[in-house]
């Protein structure tokens, strides 16, 4: 089928009331509970089970069957929690204006807090039993041995748990450990005075972050983009010493906790939970810095195509061409399963089942939550929320969420409940792989040059945003934390130097630099809210790029083996540490090859783009 001939696509559907949208475009929540009465009954059942779990306190040391009973009850509670939570939460998301449903959703949150309290005794009580005793119990009981990875992992992390007095002291610090981030949010959002800018056409625009981004992404007048950039950065310039002081507080807090718990470094403390060696992040940073050539080529190409004499940070997001093709949902429903053909007929069949199975809430309606997600409702099915608006972005979002959903389906089908969930370290592998396969399909079927340019730019910008930028951020965080670890001063100037040097290390002479880009670090909320987090987007992307290379390249036999390894990864859920799971899928993140796969991918895309634009 020819997908991309210039089509007379119908206009995107306008905002309709929910009851005017056909049932086949809405999710069917009665697969979770038949009605609210059934939900109430499950809620009451959950409440009882939570109390029953609390009553098991003090029993674990009595023997293997008591531990097994507690673990099984905990699984029961967990499974019920999925259903009770998502039924209320998904109802809420389809129309957030409904107060009665919102109240039910909050009721679940209160119950969850109660559940956490009722279960708080479990880990400390378990850890008082020697691991060797637990291992003997597991050797004698296959039912208990099912929990081996979960139990042994708890003991592994025990090394950094303090005695009761120490833990109590640390828990008291939780009252102020989020203060730097709270203050950052207040300073950068609640208390901020947004500047305004007069655009060349005369309009005066208030520069909220959304408006600022919109100008950079849509305004074809470079002087307007420059003015918006300069004005917007004045927000940070005006308070840069305060931002630096808050960031210093983040660094000192992380250092405090890493030292208190006896980690070798702040990075080690951040990675230990998932058992990731620090070499993974160090290698990611080094290999990416060595692979910036195609990034620079892309920006030089953009400068030429956009006809600019100088090329700045504020010129990096404007589209190369204007393009407004619409992609009706029902067309895409055919293309998506076709795009996953390299993963085999079974995968394709299961994907079709999700696409036709009352799992997806497609269109926007008044009150519906914005954005998109895939919700893994254990024991039922994945539910996908979209706000599909016929744009190319919406199509790729659908492909992305289908990757998550297939991961859920395969993991839930092949894992016991305790291992059915997967960590963020693996989660974005199938979603990005799904997008990459879809891109290949679209590129193979388009005959429209403009569309080809848009597709290539979409893919390249995705790599820049989810890979290069995130690695640069990880590098920044690591350098800043190391300042604190070495006891060196952390000032606005020092932080600006780190950021500016990184910008130059990545972009070389492909970018003209503005003095105010020294301040951009203060605009990144992740630095303040979730240190050492963003690198995971990059490792996921690199893993996905390497798997993609193996799945679509090489001999038929090696492709088939790569597909088997990839499907095994999706089926493995959270049954082992993410590094081990990825290794079995053919990805070794302690080596440079995964990053090299991203660099190669970008090189190939930039070459294609150079060919089309001439």
Cβ closest to Zn ion, residue 224 vs residue 435:
435
Q: Is 310 exposed, middle or buried (0-12, 13-18, 19+ CB in 10 A)?
A: exposed
User: DSSP code of 518?
Assistant: G
CA 206 to CA 195: how far, in whole Å? 6
Q: Cβ of residue 431: shortest distance to Zn ion, in angstroms?
A: 4
Q: How far is the CB of 274 from Zn ion (least distance, A)?
A: 17
Using CB under 5 A as the criterion, what x/- string covers residues 397-436 for binding Zn ion?
Answer: ----------------------------------x-----
Q: Which residue has the tokens 């293997």?
A: 64
Backbone angles phi, psi at 196, to 5 degrees: -125, 160
- DSSP run (H or E) holding 514: none
Q: Indicate the residue among 313 and 431 with the shorter CB distance to Zn ion.
A: 431
Please report how close the Cβ of residue 231 comes to Zn ion at its closest, in angstroms.
Answer: 33
Q: How far apart are CA 379 and CA 393, in angstroms?
A: 31
With respect to Zn ion, which residue has the nearer C-beta, 188 or 431?
A: 431
- For residue 435, the minimal CB distance to Zn ion (Å) is 10
# binding residues, Zn ion (CB under 5 A): 1
Closest CA to 461 of 291, 273, 298: 298
Q: CA 562 to CA 551: how far, in whole Å?
A: 5
Which stretches of 186-239 are DSSP H helices?
A: 209-218, 222-238
Assigned token pair, 398:
């659908």
Q: How many other C-beta atoms can be found within 10 angstroms of the C-beta atom of residue 157?
A: 14
401 carries an active-site annotation: yes
Residue nearest to Zn ion (CB): 431
Q: Measured from the CB of residue 484, what is the shortest distance to Zn ion in angstroms? A: 31
Residues 322-381, interacting with Zn ion (CB under 5 A): none
Measured CA distances, 561 to 552, 554, 568, 582, 593 (Å): 11, 11, 11, 15, 18
Nearer Cβ to Zn ion (122/425)? 425
Residues paired with residue 381 on neighbouring β-strands, in sequence order? 377
Which of 81, 231, 401, 435 is labelled catalytic?
A: 401
Q: And the tokens for 585?
A: 């899928």
**Cα dihedral 179/184/185/186 (nearest 10):** 90
Q: Report the nearest approach of Zn ion to the CB of residue 374 (Å).
A: 8
Nearer to Zn ion, 441 or 541 (CB): 541
- Are 395 and 327 within 8 A, CB to CB? yes
Q: Return the number of the residue (108 or 384) whose C-beta is nearest Zn ion.
A: 384
- Nearest to Zn ion of 403, 531 (CB atom): 403
Q: Is the Cβ of residue 431 or residue 536 nearer to Zn ion in the bound state?
A: 431
Give the CA distances from residue 454 to residues 220, 337, 513, 548, 599, in Å, rounded to whole numbers and listed in that order.
Answer: 16, 22, 27, 21, 20
- Do residues 478 and 285 lie in contact, with contact meaning Cβ atoms separated by under 8 Å? yes
Closest CB 432 distance from Zn ion, rounded Å: 8
Return the residues of window 429-458 that contact Zn ion according to CB under 5 A: 431
Considering the rule CB under 5 A, would residue 288 count as an interface residue with Zn ion?
Answer: no
Shortest Cβ distance from residue 428 to Zn ion (Å)? 5
Residue that the structure tokens 């996908």 belong to: 384
Question: Least distance from C-beta 488 to Zn ion, angstroms?
Answer: 37
- Three-state secondary structure of 330-381: HHHHHHHHHHCHHHCHHHHHHHHHHHHCCCEECCCCCCCCCCCEEEEECCCE
CA quadruple 82, 88, 91, 96: dihedral sign: negative
Binding mask 42-61 for Zn ion (x = CB under 5 A): --------------------
Catalytic residues: 401
Instruction: Summarize as ranges the residues that interact with Zn ion (CB under 5 A).
Output: 431
């Amino acid at each position: 089928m020819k997908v991309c001939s210039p089509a007379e696509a119908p206009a995107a559907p306008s905002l309709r009331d929910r009851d005017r949208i056909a049932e086949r475009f809405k999710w069917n929540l009665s697969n979770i509970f038949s009605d609210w009465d059934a939900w109430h009954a499950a809620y009451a059942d959950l409440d009882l089970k939570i109390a029953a779990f609390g009553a098991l306190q003090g029993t674990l040391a009595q023997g293997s069957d008591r531990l097994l009973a507690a673990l099984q009850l905990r699984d029961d509670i967990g499974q019920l929690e999925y259903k009770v939570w998502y039924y209320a939460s998904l109802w809420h998301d389809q129309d957030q204006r409904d107060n009665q449903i919102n109240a039910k959703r909050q009721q679940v949150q209160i119950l969850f807090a109660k559940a956490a309290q009722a279960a708080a005794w479990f880990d400390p009580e378990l850890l008082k039993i020697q691991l060797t005793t637990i291992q003997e119990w597991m050797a004698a009981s296959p039912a208990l041995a099912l929990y081996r990875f979960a139990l042994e992992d708890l003991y592994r992390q025990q090394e950094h748990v303090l005695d009761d007095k120490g833990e109590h002291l640390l828990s008291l610090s939780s009252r102020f450990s989020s203060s730097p981030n709270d203050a950052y949010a207040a300073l950068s959002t609640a208390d901020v005075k947004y500047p305004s800018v007069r655009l060349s056409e005369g309009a005066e625009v208030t520069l909220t972050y959304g408006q600022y981004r919109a100008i950079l992404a849509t305004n074809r007048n470079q002087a307007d983009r420059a003015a918006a950039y300069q004005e917007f950065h004045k927000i940070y310039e005006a308070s840069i010493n305060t931002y630096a002081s808050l960031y210093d507080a983040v660094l000192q807090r992380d250092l405090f906790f890493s030292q208190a718990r006896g980690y070798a470094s702040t990075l080690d403390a951040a990675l230990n939970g998932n058992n990731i060696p620090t070499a993974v992040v160090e290698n990611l940073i080094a290999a990416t810095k060595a692979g910036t050539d195609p990034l620079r080529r892309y920006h030089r190409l953009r400068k030429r195509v956009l006809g600019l004499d100088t090329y700045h940070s504020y010129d990096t997001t404007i589209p190369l061409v204007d393009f407004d093709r619409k992609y009706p949902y029902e067309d895409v429903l055919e293309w998506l399963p076709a795009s996953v053909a390299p993963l085999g007929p079974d995968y394709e069949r299961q994907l079709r089942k999700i696409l036709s199975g009352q799992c997806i809430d497609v269109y926007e309606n008044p009150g519906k939550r914005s954005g998109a997600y895939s919700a893994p409702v254990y024991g039922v099915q994945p539910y996908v929320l979209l706000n599909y608006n016929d744009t190319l972005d919406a199509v790729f979002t659908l492909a992305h969420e289908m990757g998550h959903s297939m991961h859920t389906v395969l993991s839930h089908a092949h894992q016991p409940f305790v291992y059915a969930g997967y960590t963020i370290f693996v989660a974005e592998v199938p979603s990005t792989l799904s997008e990459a396969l879809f891109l290949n399909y679209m590129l193979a079927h388009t005959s429209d040059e403009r569309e080809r340019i848009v597709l290539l730019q979409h893919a390249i910008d995705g790599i820049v945003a989810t890979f290069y930028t995130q690695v640069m951020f990880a590098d920044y965080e690591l350098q800043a934390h190391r300042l604190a670890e070495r006891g060196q001063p952390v000032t606005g100037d020092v932080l600006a130097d780190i950021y500016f040097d990184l910008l130059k290390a990545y972009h070389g002479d492909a970018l003209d630099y503005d003095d105010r880009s020294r301040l951009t670090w203060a605009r990144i909320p992740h630095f303040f809210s979730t240190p050492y987090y963003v690198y995971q987007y990059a490792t996921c992307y690199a893993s996905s790029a390497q798997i993609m290379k193996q799945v679509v390249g090489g001999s038929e036999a090696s492709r088939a083996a790569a597909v088997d390894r990839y499907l095994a990864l999706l089926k493995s859920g959270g049954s082992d540490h993410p590094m081990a799971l990825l290794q079995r899928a053919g990805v070794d993140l302690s080596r440079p090859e995964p990053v090299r796969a991203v660099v190669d991918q970008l090189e190939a895309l930039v070459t294609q783009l150079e060919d089309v634009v001439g």
